[in-house]
Amino acid sequence: MTSVSTVFSRRHSRQSQTHRNNRLHSADTRAVCGNRMMEEGPYKYIREGNDKVSRVIRIGTRKSQLARIQTDSVADSLKELYPDVHLEIVAMSTKGDIILDTALSKIGEKSLFTKELENALERNEVDLVVHSLKDLPTTLPPGFTIGAVLKRENPHDAVVLHPTNAGKTLETLPENSVIGTSSLRRAAQLKKRFPHLEFKDIRGNLNTRLKKLDEKQDFAAIILAAAGLKRMGWENRISMILEPEDCMYAVGQGALAVEVRSRDADILEMVSVLHDPDTVLRCIAERAFLKKLEGGCSVPVAVHTQVKDSHLYLTGAVYSLDGSDSLKETMQTSIVAGDESLEKVDEQVQRVGVTASKLPGDVQDRAEQLGIDLADLLLRKGAKDILTVARQCNDAR
């Protein structure tokens, strides 16, 4: 029996750096026609001083500062692995960036932060797109796949207090203090845990929400993803990290995903080395859980995963909007790979949108089944009724 990380490393080492680079330098030099940069068909190429022609890899991203920081980190990793590859970042706005006066749960669209990026990918205007994994629906449009899930940052939520409340906690804030969050998941759990607090929507990117907190007296605190604050270099703003007992996190929270065209084998191969095995398995289980529940941002669904002693543990929960009604269970599965899985890999297989051909298929299957089994358990206990009422209440708000 072999660990997932060992199998991943073994498969990765089979391909030399030269081989990986050469696959992206296969352009016909005659296509450049003496120009330094040109496009041929759906691709873009650059001609260097030594007459070598290389494909330019265009990376799509949202325009926000956090999105650019996250995309730059992926680009830096690719540049380190493939120093001869030329990267170009293409930034654009999404519907979720533009509509800022409505709670995400009320807009009612699954691809708020991804659709425009996927449209560019479909039109061959970019070759890959960097997302926060939690923004990606569990079912991707045909022709797309998640080619890499990077090592997860802290997935927990963080409390950022108004400067006048420094030193306090959610528990010690005065009665009826207003907490800002547009997440039904966060509000439902925290209403149950801290019934003396009130919760109101707050929209905008991280910069905007922090400005709304600091410059007005509307909120005693706001709840944000710890990962985003850390990536922005604003860890000093974190007043407290919410542990799972207080607030479990969103599916995929803290992980970055690289979405590609599933037919683009060279790009898929290039980004696949960015996969973090433990993060991949955790997020496959989480996404399978959410997909089976038919959940999304319009219902409060929360998870917590952990890899420990060659086992994957998944805790999942559903809540009513006020947190008064809930179901929560934990299940586990082994993630030890059988030796036969070393050779049995189908590179076309996607699991809840993720293609990870260098990880043992049987282990990925178990992670996916774990999410399905946990969702089935909650559904048998009445989760569908809780979520149906939550949707109806949210629509009526």
Give CA separation, 309 vs 33, 183, 274, 335, in Å: 58, 33, 24, 9
> Taking the chain, what is the end-to-end CA distance rounded to the nearest angstrom?
53
CA atoms within 13 A on the CB side of 95: 15
Q: Are 255 and 150 in contact (CB under 8 A)?
A: yes
80: region left, alpha or beta (phi > 0 left; psi from -120 to 50 alpha): alpha
Give CA separation, 301 vs 52, 186, 222, 251, 293, in Å: 51, 9, 20, 8, 9
Quote the crossing angle between the two packed helices 383-396 and 184-193, to the nearest 10°: 110
* Residues 6 or more apart in contact with residue 86 via CB below 8 angstroms: 46, 54, 55, 56, 57
Sheet holding 157-161, edge to edge: 198-200, 178-180, 221-225, 157-161, 240-241
The candidate with the shortest Cα–Cα distance to 338, out of 312, 319, 365, is 365
The amino acid at residue 102 is T
Judging by DSSP bridges, how do beta strands 256-261 and 128-132 pair with one another? antiparallel
Compute φ and ψ for 87, nearest 5 degrees. Answer: -115, 140
Beta strand residue intervals within 280-371, DSSP E: 301-308, 311-319, 326-334
Q: Is 365 a catalytic residue?
A: no
Catalytic residue among 135, 157, 264, 278: 135
- Burial environment of residue 392 by CB neighbours within 10 A (0 to 12, 13 to 18, 19 or more): exposed
Q: Please give the positions annotated as active site.
A: 135
